[in-house]
Amino acid sequence: MKKHILFSLAIGSLFVLTGCENTNVWEEEQYIKQAYLVGIGEEGALVTRNVNYADESAETFVSVGTSGSLNPDGDIHCTLIEDPSGITSYNQKYKSSTEIQYQALPAANYNISSMNAVIRAGESYARIPVAIHPEGLHCDSLYALPLKMESCKEYPVAQAETVVLFAIKTYNNYSGYYNYIGTNNGASFSLIRNAVAVNKNTIRIYYTGTEELARAKDTGLTITVNEDNTLSLAGWKNLNVTEGSGSYDPQNKTFSFTYRVNGNEVEAYLISATASEE
């Protein structure tokens, strides 16, 4: 019995001593320190940046970070490079031959302030400003800026071969989902339409049928909002639209318009499907 008590006290003392020794355990680094480009953990290393056509130069950021339980106690210097091979690899893995493929964002449409980032002592992230110039980007194309971390002076680079694709998704102040209702040659219709931004003040919808890109050239209808909120309507490519006119109500985000297509008169409304939620 006495031996049992002594053994228990000894074990208890061990736990107490161990507990005292580990009181400051979180003051020491618990993991491997690495530097990484934010986005390497996303599926396909694809990160989307939304850019408004209305912005002549839209500012976004590329971020780098460090892993570990503690922030670095000194400055961390990282260098990025562009690597277009990442676009090819992504298309091969995630896109079929019949789908629109990602392409490199044209050099004229962006400016990176620097390819070097410094994570300051006591911080875990640093951001590199990137200016996107959306004018001229085609609404039916997929663009991406392919970057990877080339080196880090102080830490090893996590997933050094992974290229992060910063995909650019354009929109404008009128794009989004709408209830498309009206009459076509006297016959009523009610459809949901995704209005795609074409430029800063023009959207495109499918005037009839299903929303399939292959049908855009024959059923695409463009609606341009003029400075006085009147509307100009035109066919996307092959669609013959005449006598198009209308107005836009910015308060209710509603388009009211009439036009003639293939000899039929269409009177319609586009009512924002999200306006009531905002």
pLDDT of residue 274: 75
CA distances to 9, 40, 123, 124, 127 from 72, rounded to whole Å, are: 41, 21, 7, 7, 16
> Which regions in the chain score pLDDT beneath 50?
1-20, 276-278
In this prediction, residue 22 carries a pLDDT of 52
pLDDT at 262: 85
DSSP for residue 225: E
Q: What is the pLDDT of residue 29?
A: 72
The domains located in the chain, with CATH, are: 35-171 (2.60.40.1740), 176-272 (2.40.128.420)
Region of 182 on the Ramachandran plot (φ > 0 left; ψ -120 to 50 alpha; else beta): left
Burial 204-225 (b: 16+ CB within 10 A, else e): bbbbbeeeeeeebeebbbbbbb
* pLDDT tens per residue across span 149-163: 999 999 999 999 999
CA atoms within 13 A of residue 269's CA, in its CB half-sphere: 12
| Residue 51 burial (CB count, 10 A) | 24
**CB neighbourhood size of 28 (10 A):** 8
- Retrieve residue 14's tokens: 């061990």
